[in-house]
Structure 1
């Protein structure tokens, strides 16, 4: 959480959540994305390659074997719309969503677009 937002270092909202998933499950949903960008332009290019941010996450999480959920629990992950209207990835925490932003980690009741359960079984 304390690592500053830095795309070049792999510390943006996408990789922050992917790191969480990997730490919790041993599976890296962003393995195909790591090292493919180091700037906002590079990230935008990768997102466009998939056809959008939400689609990118849907593909990565499906390939990694995670199932969507309509009732995310603490520790599950999702794609949400933040207060500024941006589509970002986040971690479910106490009925809200934690998302990494350039100003730090923000925890709010963001609007969920899609979520995945990290439980396997």
Structure 2
């Protein structure tokens, strides 16, 4: 499956990664399609809210440590120059309304010069600054 086919699939935002994906399970679902192993398998269904998701990430020491831990388990390698299909930790504005917008770090998939990510309104591809990038190996 290529990135275009993956992004064309029906995607639904759902905390906990069951029946849909959140901002961290979305790139894990991409990894599952690419390499056949789900780096978020141990987490899916263990949380249902933003607060519970943040508590899990905090237990790992933050977003970078969380993603590094889970992607290393499936053999993904850190790279400096993102290419289409790479998984990234990006800086993004999140929040339900303009009033509660905050900058945060979320998981995304490189898509040409953009980053594809999921949010309650669906999939979007946006330019973003990345914090770290991992390349999947088959």
TM-score, length-normalised on structure 2?
A: 0.79
Match of 2:113 in 1: 95
Gaps in structure 1 of 5+ consecutive residues: none
**TM-score of the superposed pair, with normalisation by structure 1:** 0.89
Aligned residues: 120
SS in 2 for 1:36: coil
- Give the 5 Å matches for 1:18-97: 18-84=28-94, 85-97=103-115
Shift of 1:80: 0.2
In structure 2, the gaps of 5 or more residues are 1-6, 95-102
Map Cα deviations across residues 41-66 of structure 1 (whole Å, 9 max, x no partner): 21112111101112100111112211
SS at match of 1:57: helix
1:95 CA drift (Å)? 1.4
Extract structure 1 runs of 4+ deviating beyond 4 A: none
Separation in 2 of the partners of 1:43 and 1:108?
23
